[in-house]
């Protein structure tokens, strides 16, 4: 029997899908439960709370000193001091003591002179209630402390306890049941060593969803991983509904494949409300219901999974708990290059952000829905509306921040050629206590030079070979940035060569073998220094790029090239030794090249750049670089221009 493929029902816009979710399930309010007050932090009050006690519930001394009746002190002056009798018109008290009967002020001990036994002298009068915490100054019994649906903070605990509330009624946390599915997935708890067979992947989406649910005020139960078995998945989802789950999330199987069963499961349990949302990532999301219970078909790709939760499930949890929808801080940013987008889909583009000059600049990260690092490394998200085909470079757009703006302000923005030492530099900045982060975007050496020219980065990584002189970077800087004030700092010398599978099964000896019909190349992107080097060497050898199988297949980093080789997608790629060594590939040396950092002159003397240079010149950084293999640090940190 040929497996049946799903087809998307009429897709809904994100706004419409969210409206459907809230209208169908937004009136569900969890029951109340009573918890000890200190355990209520993060919970939502189920009812208003009025004070049972005043705070303080007596008149209390606010200072160490003597308690007095203010009228007894009137007229005191340095030229005409007053003498008070201890135990009668002056009573010694400490901070927090009950004010003695008949007193209404405290004179600080440092303003009191002991005259003789049983007597004290003051040189200034007190006014009524000076240095006294009056009863109810903070909280008055019976006044409302917090309205219902107030989310309890650590500060609130102090007020609640002081007001006599040692336990409070809060809304029960919504209970989400999460069912991961997929025959290709394995559970990390049963995996032991990190060894996967081809086609297998670690199941992580359910754990991410669970922690997102907790952050939104819910609790979750992750069910055991199930393979692609329609009856098993439907049975588990039905059991969760019958046990009273507030929502069921089926992870994976929401797309249009022959073994994507989420839609069929929901149809068995009830009805489909939404199948497909015009957003990217997250298009395959399904919304359905089983009786009165929402059932979501969550996409299997990690970023799609996260976006679908944040845009549809999280707003529902907020409505159930009577909370306003989560809203991230928004800022205007300037894209470092044009960001194209598909008409008809609202796109969530993950970006790195940095403060360059007087502007916040944004550089896109990989946009694949399966690349979880595109969101772990992101500083913000640019949402491109469905009616636009993209946004232009150097024009302001709004970004939602994923990190505090203050942290972004201490980010060194690096744009240009990729090198593994940049990752070490980012970590070493933290290891040496520098209050800096490093944001590295890989657009090739020429792209880095253009970013410096447009003033959208602090640093550009570059290794551009001048074919005429055999030198690096200086010729291209003069060519492309003739009137721009820049500084050039040497980072490393590095070994470039051909990366091939371990054992070199195709017997590749050098660049000459790239013309062989049985050898497939994985290339670097146009404008990268590695691509320029390859093209130069091919011309020297008289090899036409059209003769090289795979010449047009491109990756943006050395590690991505190495990954393509080890996966079998290509037989060979030009890259650095450190990348080959990291993935256990064989390496055929081609050249030792120079990799430098180009820095705008206006940035060079700034504290972040000077801190970065100190770290680059440190022995700790050099040791870590040399440990990667294929690097030479004899001139690291030297100013070349």
Q: How confident is the model at residue 630 (pLDDT cuts 50, 70, 90)?
A: very high
Superfamily of chain region 60-133: Molybdopterin biosynthesis moea protein, domain 3. (2.170.190.11)
> Containing H/E element for 294?
strand 293-298
How many residues are there in the chain? 641
Count of other CB atoms within 10 angstroms of residue 286 = 29
SS (H, E, C) 47-113: CCEECCCCECCCCEECCCEEEECHHHHCCCECCECEEEEECCCEEEECCCCECCCCCCEEEEHHHCE
Alpha helices in 405-469 (DSSP H): 405-408, 420-431, 445-454
Instruction: Return the pLDDT at 68.
Output: 96
Go through 380-399 and write b for each residue having 16 or more CB atoms within 10 A of its CB, e for each that does not. bbbbbebeeeebeeeeebeb
- H/E segment holding residue 212: helix 205-215
Structure tokens at 104: 């209404």
Q: Domain 14-28+174-320 has what CATH class? A: alpha beta
Residue 432 pLDDT class (50, 70, 90 cuts): confident
- pLDDT (mean) for 74-95: 94
329-399 has the same fold as 14-28+174-320: no
Nearest C-alpha neighbor of 366 from the set 440, 256, 459, 457? 440
Let me know: does 599 contact 489? Beta carbons within 8 Å: yes
Whether the ω angle into residue 540 lies within 30 degrees of 0, i.e. cis, is no
Is cis: bond before 503, omega within 30 of 0? Answer: no
Is residue 608 over pLDDT 50?
yes
Rg for the chain, CA atoms, rounded: 34
Q: Which CATH architecture has domain 32-55+137-171?
A: Alpha-Beta Complex (3.90)
What is the domain partition of the chain in residue ranges? 14-28+174-320, 32-55+137-171, 60-133, 329-399, 445-632
- Where helices occur in 466-591 by DSSP H, the ranges are 474-480, 529-541, 558-567, 577-582
What's the pLDDT score for residue 6? 52
Quick: pLDDT tens for 305-345: 999 999 999 999 999 999 999 899 999 999 988 899 999 99
pLDDT digits (tens, 9 = 90+) for 100-132: 999 999 999 999 998 778 899 999 999 999 999
In terms of Cα–Cα distance, which of 499, 628, 631 is closest to 561? 499
CATH code that applies to domain 445-632: 3.40.190.290
- 332 vs 187, 338, 358, 414, CA distance in Å? 41, 16, 12, 20
% of the chain with per-residue pLDDT over 90 = 81
Q: What pLDDT score does 3 carry?
A: 42
Across 465-514, where does the E strand assignment appear? 486-500
Classify domain 329-399 at the CATH topology level: Beta-clip (2.40.340)
d(CA 535, CA 81) in angstroms, rounded, equals 96
Q: Which two tokens stand for residue 481?
A: 């940035």
10: buried, middle or exposed (CB in 10 Å: 19+, 13-18, 0-12)? exposed
Alpha-carbon distances, residue 290 vs 25, 239, 294, 553, 597 (angstroms):
11, 11, 7, 47, 58
Helix (H, G, I), strand (E, B), or coil: what is residue 576? strand
DSSP-derived secondary structure for 370-428: T-THHHHS-SEEEEEPTT-SEE-TTS-EEEEESS-HHHHTTEEEEEES--HHHHHHHHH
* Stated pTM of the model: 0.83
d(CA 420, CA 432): 19
Report pLDDT for 2: 38
CB of 374 within 8 A of CB of 391? no
Contact 285, 312 (CB under 8 A): yes
3-class DSSP assignment, residue 475: helix
Q: How confident is residue 43, by pLDDT bands cut at 50, 70 and 90?
A: very high
């Amino acid at each position: 029997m040929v497996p049946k493929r799903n087809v998307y029902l009429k897709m809904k816009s994100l706004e419409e899908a969210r409206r459907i979710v809230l209208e169908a399930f937004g009136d569900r309010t969890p029951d109340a439960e009573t918890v000890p007050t200190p355990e209520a932090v993060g919970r939502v009050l189920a009812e208003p709370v009025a004070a049972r006690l005043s705070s303080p519930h007596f008149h209390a001394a606010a200072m160490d000193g003597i308690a007095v009746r203010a009228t007894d002190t009137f007229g005191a002056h340095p030229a005409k001091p007053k003498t008070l009798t201890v135990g009668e018109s002056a009573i010694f008290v400490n901070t927090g003591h009950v004010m003695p009967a008949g007193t209404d002020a405290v004179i600080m001990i440092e303003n009191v002179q002991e005259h003789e036994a049983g007597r004290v002298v003051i040189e200034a009068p007190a006014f009524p209630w000076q240095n006294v915490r009056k009863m109810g100054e903070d909280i008055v019994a019976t006044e409302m402390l917090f309205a219902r649906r107030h989310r309890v903070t650590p500060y609130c605990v102090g007020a609640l306890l002081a007001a006599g509330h040692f336990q409070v009624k809060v809304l029960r946390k919504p209970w989400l049941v999460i069912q991961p599915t997929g025959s290709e997935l394995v559970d990390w708890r049963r995996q032991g060593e990190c060894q996967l067979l081809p086609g297998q992947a670690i199941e992580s989406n359910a754990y991410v969803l669970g922690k997102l649910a907790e952050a939104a005020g819910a609790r979750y139960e992750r069910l055991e991983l199930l393979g692609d078995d329609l009856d098993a998945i439907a049975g588990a989802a039905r059991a969760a509904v019958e046990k009273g789950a507030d929502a069921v999330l089926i992870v994976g199987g929401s797309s249009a494949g022959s073994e994507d069963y989420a839609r069929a499961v929901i149809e068995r349990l009830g009805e489909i409300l939404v199948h497909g949302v015009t957003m990217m990532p997250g298009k395959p999301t399904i919304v359905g219901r089983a009786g009165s219970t929402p059932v979501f078909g969550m996409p299997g790709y990690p970023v799609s999974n996260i976006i679908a939760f944040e845009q549809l499930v999280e707003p529902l949890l907020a409505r159930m708990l009577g909370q306003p929808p989560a809203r991230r801080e928004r800022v205007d940013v300037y894209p470092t290059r044009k960001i194209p987008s598909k008409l008809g889909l609202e796109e969530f583009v993950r970006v790195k952000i940095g403060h360059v000059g007087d502007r916040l600049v944004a550089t896109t990260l990989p946009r694949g829905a399966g690349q979880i690092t595109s969101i772990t490394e992101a500083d913000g998200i640019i949402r491109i509306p469905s009616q636009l085909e993209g946004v232009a470079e150097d024009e302001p757009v709004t970004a939602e921040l994923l990190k505090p703006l203050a942290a972004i302000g201490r980010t060194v923005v690096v744009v240009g050629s990729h090198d593994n030492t940049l990752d070490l530099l980012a970590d070493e900045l933290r290891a040496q206590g520098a209050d800096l982060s490093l944001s590295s975007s890989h657009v090739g050496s020429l792209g880095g030079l253009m970013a410096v020219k447009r003033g959208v980065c602090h640093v550009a990584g570059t290794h551009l070979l001048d074919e005429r002189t055999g030198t690096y970077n200086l010729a291209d800087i003069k060519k492309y940035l003739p009137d721009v004030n820049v500084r050039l700092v040497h980072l490393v010398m590095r070994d470039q060569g051909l990366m091939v599978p371990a054992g070199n099964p195709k017997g590749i000896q050098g660049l000459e073998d790239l013309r062989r019909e049985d050898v497939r190349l994985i290339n670097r992107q146009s404008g990268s220094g590695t691509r320029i080097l390859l093209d130069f060497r091919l011309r020297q050898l008289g090899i036409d790029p059209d003769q090289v199988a795979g010449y047009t297949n491109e990756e943006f980093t050395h590690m991505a090239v190495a990954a393509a080789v080890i996966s079998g997608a290509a037989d060979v790629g030009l890259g650095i030794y450190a990348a080959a060594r990291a993935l256990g590939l064989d390496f055929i040396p081609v050249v030792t090249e120079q990799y430098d950092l180009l820095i705008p002159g206006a940035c060079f003397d700034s504290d972040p750049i000077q801190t970065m240079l100190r770290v680059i010149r440190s022995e700790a950084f050099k040791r870590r670089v040399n440990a990667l293999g294929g690097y030479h640090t004899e001139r690291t940190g030297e100013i070349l221009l």
